[in-house]
Amino acid sequence: MNMIHAKDYSDMSRKAANIISAQVILKPNSVLGLATGSTPEGLYAELIRRYQSNDLDFSLVSSVNLDEYRGLSPENDQSYRYFMQTKLFDHINIRPEATFVPDGLEPDAARACSRHEEAIRNLGGIDLQLLGLGNNGHIGFNEPAPVFEKETHCVDLTQSTIDANARFFASREDVPTQAYTMGIRTIMRAKKILVIVNGEQKADIVAKAFFGPVTPEVPASILQMHPDVTVVGDEAAFSKLPANA
């Protein structure tokens, strides 16, 4: 695991943008696995800047997102499709038909999930998967559980995730209780993984996930078994790492 130390949030965003830029420059038709949450916002803003200054071209890039709330439409400003459009896709030259987010409006969960897996397969797999880290160690919406979930599936969100995401909704009752998410195997099949973390509220879980035992109770801990993982974190998020990490 490659731990890259950043000073602060904007430094983390730039360093992560360097890695994604290198991927897209070296392989213009890359398949990028993308994430939502507050952590990647600065990174996406940085990618937009680089596109605007002609340093990046997304015309051949495809993207697949990790997850989507079940029941939210693309027009709902809390849906992850809406997030991706407004924070990234609408501002770069990625082809709309080359962006895949699980379909939150597909009521048949099995169909929504198998279609997402099929989209990933048809693209030939993910070259670089970007991940944030939930406070409880979740990646995508793979919540702590007795076993690692494999493929894209429908999850019941834990109370701690609902609480953490409530800040984005008008009221707690508006927070969806289920989501479609790539599974652990889907994520682990990506050729490269880039995790970004910032803030002292992530310090404990960062140490636990990347330096503690591998267990489905800390879903991100499985990343220790992946051959090509880079974690970019700011000082606060890395403040509880073992010495020399």
Which member of 46, 65, 67, 149 is catalytic? 67
User: 55 or 163: whose CB is closer to ligand GLP?
Assistant: 163
CB of 101 to ligand GLP, least distance (A): 12
The answer to whether 2 is a known catalytic residue is no
Kindly tell me which residue out of 39, 65, 142, 152 binds ligand GLP, with binding defined by CB under 6 A: 39
Which member of 127, 143, 149, 234 is catalytic? 143
User: 55 or 200: whose CB is closer to ligand GLP?
Assistant: 200
> Which residue bears the tokens 């051949």?
60
The answer to whether 226 is a known catalytic residue is no
Cβ–Cβ < 8 Å for 80, 44: no
CB of 57 to ligand GLP, least distance (A): 26
User: 56 or 209: whose CB is closer to ligand GLP?
Assistant: 209
The answer to whether 244 is a known catalytic residue is no
36 is a contact residue toward ligand GLP (CB under 6 A):
yes
38 is a contact residue toward ligand GLP (CB under 6 A):
yes
The answer to whether 67 is a known catalytic residue is yes
CB of 243 to ligand GLP, least distance (A): 26
**Cα separation of the two ends of the chain:** 10
CB of 34 to ligand GLP, least distance (A): 10
Which member of 68, 103, 117, 138 is catalytic? 138
Residues within window 138-197 making contact with ligand GLP, judged by CB under 6 A? 140-141, 161, 165
Total residues interacting with ligand GLP, rule: CB under 6 A: 14
Binding segment (CB under 6 A) for ligand GLP, from list 7-15, 36-44, 48-56, 93-101:
36-44
Q: Cα dist. 70→51, 79, 103, 236 in Å?
A: 32, 9, 8, 33
Residue numbers annotated as active site = 67, 136, 138, 143
